[in-house]
Amino acid sequence: MTDEIAGVVLAGGLSRRMGGRDKALLNVAGRPLIQRVAEGLGPQVGPLIVNANGDPSRFAFLGHPVVPDETADFPGPLAGVVAALHWFARHQRGTRAVASVSADAPFVPADLVRRLDEALTRHPEARVAVAQSQGRRHHVIGLWRIEAAATIEKALARGERKVETMVDALGAVAIPFPDLDIGGQTIDPFFNVNTPEDLAVAERALAQSAGSTP
């Protein structure tokens, strides 16, 4: 994948439904959840970073830069997106778009970035393309043009934090993805692990696939 497209794994959440545990570091079929996400997204982009708050050393094993939110009040995933857009604008000047995937989505499709990039090419007026599955948009799993940063930053400054509202304001195009067959089990490609029950579902699916990388 060209270096013009970068990637960010969003791990800045508070994991409230996991009892405050750092769910990105929970093991799923033998590997940390965030490692599975990084391994799925990494080959599809050029440079990759992790957006996370707190001690960055806990993600050192991934070998990617860790970039925190630019505000201290945990305003949600949009803060992670804009932090990534700003970071690549400063450190990777040729970046034209940044792909974002949440750290709790272990089944990243191998054609995610390619298909989102094709959508942005077809829709030059859109500043973001987002993934869709089972009739539902996944607002933080998307490809953001680098110039979207200014709009997001202004919205956050006004206290507007709803991701759905922002992707609409950016003229989002949604790209549908089919369900996956993981170890004989039908799985939403953007299934995300929010609860202990979700973790068990992901664990079973990956165990049935003999531990292969999704």
Q: CATH code at 33?
A: 3.90.550.10
Q: What CA–CA distance (Å, rounded) separates 53 from 14?
A: 9
In this structure, what DSSP letter does residue 150 have?
H
Does residue 214 fall inside a structural domain?
A: no
Whole-prediction pTM: 0.92
**Number of domains observed in the structure of the chain:** 1
β partners of residue 51: 10, 67
Domain range for 103: 5-208
Q: What is the pLDDT along the chain (214 residues), one digit of tens a residue?
A: 568 999 999 998 655 545 556 889 999 888 999 999 999 999 999 999 999 999 999 999 999 999 999 987 767 899 999 999 999 999 998 999 999 999 999 999 999 999 999 999 999 999 999 999 999 999 999 999 999 999 999 999 988 889 999 999 999 999 999 999 887 789 999 999 988 899 998 888 888 775 444 4
Q: What CA–CA distance (Å, rounded) separates 42 from 7?
A: 7
Does residue 82 fall inside a structural domain?
A: yes
Residue (of 89, 20, 95) closest to 54 by Cα position:
20
Q: What CA–CA distance (Å, rounded) separates 122 from 181?
A: 29
Does residue 213 fall inside a structural domain?
A: no
